[in-house]
Structure 1
Amino acid sequence: MLTTKSTEHKDDIYESVRAHVLALVKNIEAPVRIREEELAKKLNVSRTPVRQALLRLGQEGILNMEPRRGALLSPLTLEDYVEWLKLRIELEAFAAREAALNASQRDVDALRALFAPFNEDNVDAHVEAYAKANVDFHAAIVRLAENHLLEKIWKSFGHRGMLKSKTIERLHRARHSLAEHLALIDAIEKRDGALADRLAREHVQGLLTQTLGGPPHTRTGA
């Protein structure tokens, strides 16, 4: 049986492998083979936990494990992203509604802290930093829903938001996104589950509409 220390080490390697794979998928144009030995050397660990991590990522749908050929990572497509956005509308509406019921003031303050460095005047000049805060924000809302199945779904498919096209920058969404996030935090702080549900739904629907080439969301320009 694994000891607590060895289990933690295994989990650390899994997270390192996952981070490597998700960084890679943003920048590939064609499928690439992930070599266990090369990745193990890169991470300075043995091959066995790397193989186990890749198998786990295969089970999560992030890459494909092919018999006798190993791990194959395919680029994410626009179709992948659109499918994920359609699902996200429902998932994030649920998560926001539950977060409004569960979040403490400390949780609300932590959400606000993510966006404290940004305002309407400077956010366009700091798109990459804002994009990271955006990812952290949505993950935090999912955690605040306190639903383990939702967290598993998010962990398995959330990588579909990592398109090489850099959605926030490409669609010039930063200012609108910031305003929508702050409004959602206000709803959570007020424990208004119905409002949080609606705002989260409109936020993702606006992104979907723009991604498909439609006009910005009429309420906030999404």
Structure 2
Amino acid sequence: MKLTIDKTKSIHSQVYEGIKEAIISLEFLPGQRLSEKELSAMLDVSRTPIREAFIRLSEKGLLEIYPQRGTFVSYIDIDKVKESLFVRESLECAALRQSIARLNQDDITALRALIAKQKEFQDEKGRETFYYFDEKYHEKLIEMSGYQNVWSVIQAEKLHLDRVRYLSLLATRKTSKLIEEHEEILNAVIAKDVEMAQFQLSKHIKESTVEIIELYKETYTEFFSKS
């Protein structure tokens, strides 16, 4: 687990975020059993913050806690993924209208720079960095709207969606298509064509997610809930 605890900061928060990211990024695989004792030793912390993180993550649907049996990483639930998709698409597309109304040259420059970074890291070795800048692109679109808390809401609601997106790191997928879609969104934003920009953004969010779900339900069936 890639986490070094900074004892000068909140240990509880760091432990929670670290375990959450390990689940989302599939470092901890669906169905994997997690041990309070092992994580406590690994992170050099007491078992209390581990236990509290387990409870919070179970409330988010990322862990399943079974008395007398143990704690397990939840399987990916397609219904929860679809709910996350609905929230993300609705909020991003709604905010985009305001982003276009407030658009300035600095915003355009920043979005172009983020697309350039995605192109720089689009090969398989740079895939994780590519998705970092993919996230930053969407965050910038929201930030431009002036609605400062919307991205935080999206982040909280799209945990299950992100688990599916990380599956694309396990196999080759066309990042060039995602870049092309980002450029189409940006072109519509620059043209201040609200309807086209919202259409392109909605299509981009839906298609990229549905494509991954359909592909990996067949390839990684052991990661998905059977219900």
Q: TM-score, normalised by structure 2?
A: 0.67
Q: Distance in 2 between matches of 1:61 and 1:161?
A: 13
Confirm whether residue 112 of structure 1 aligns to residue 141 of structure 2.
Answer: no
| Residue aligned with 1:130, SS | helix
Contact kept, 8 Å, 1:61 with 1:156, in 2: the verdict is no
Q: Deviation at 1:7?
A: 7.0
Structure 2 unmatched runs, 5+ = 1-6, 216-227
Q: How do 1:45-56 and structure 2 match up within 5 A?
A: 45-56=45-56
Q: Distance in 2 between matches of 1:159 and 1:141?
A: 21
- 11-20 or 106-115, which moves further after superposition? 106-115
Q: Deviation at 1:174?
A: 1.6
Contact kept, 8 Å, 1:63 with 1:74, in 2: the verdict is yes
Confirm whether residue 203 of structure 1 aligns to residue 201 of structure 2.
Answer: no
Identity %: 24
Structure 1 unmatched runs, 5+ = 215-222
1:23 aligns with 25
| Residue aligned with 2:117, SS | coil
The amino acid across from 2:175 in the alignment is A
- 34-43 or 129-138, which moves further after superposition? 129-138
Q: Deviation at 1:178?
A: 0.5
Contact kept, 8 Å, 1:97 with 1:193, in 2: the verdict is yes
Q: How do 1:1-222 and structure 2 match up within 5 A?
A: 8-24=10-26, 28=29, 31-67=31-67, 69-76=69-76, 81=81, 84-85=84-85, 87-101=87-101, 105-119=105-119, 123-124=122-123, 128=127, 129-142=129-142, 144=144, 146=147, 148=149, 151-163=152-164, 165-166=167-168, 170=172, 172-188=173-189, 192-207=193-208, 210-211=211-212
Q: Distance in 1 between matches of 2:186 and 2:159?
A: 21
- 80-89 or 36-45, which moves further after superposition? 80-89
| Residue aligned with 2:19, SS | helix
How many pairs were matched up?
206
The amino acid across from 1:201 in the alignment is S
The amino acid across from 2:12 in the alignment is K
Q: Deviation at 1:177?
A: 1.1
| Residue aligned with 1:162, SS | helix
Q: Distance in 1 between matches of 2:139 and 2:84?
A: 15
The amino acid across from 2:52 in the alignment is Q
Q: TM-score, normalised by structure 1?
A: 0.68
CA-based RMSD of the aligned residues comes to: 3.8
Tell me: CA distance 1:107–1:152, structure 2 relative to 1, closer, same or farther (3 Å): same
- 158-167 or 53-62, which moves further after superposition? 158-167
Q: Deviation at 1:62?
A: 2.1
Q: Deviation at 1:18?
A: 1.6
Q: Distance in 2 between matches of 1:74 and 1:161?
A: 14
Tell me: CA distance 1:87–1:149, structure 2 relative to 1, closer, same or farther (3 Å): closer
Q: Distance in 2 between matches of 1:40 and 1:102?
A: 48
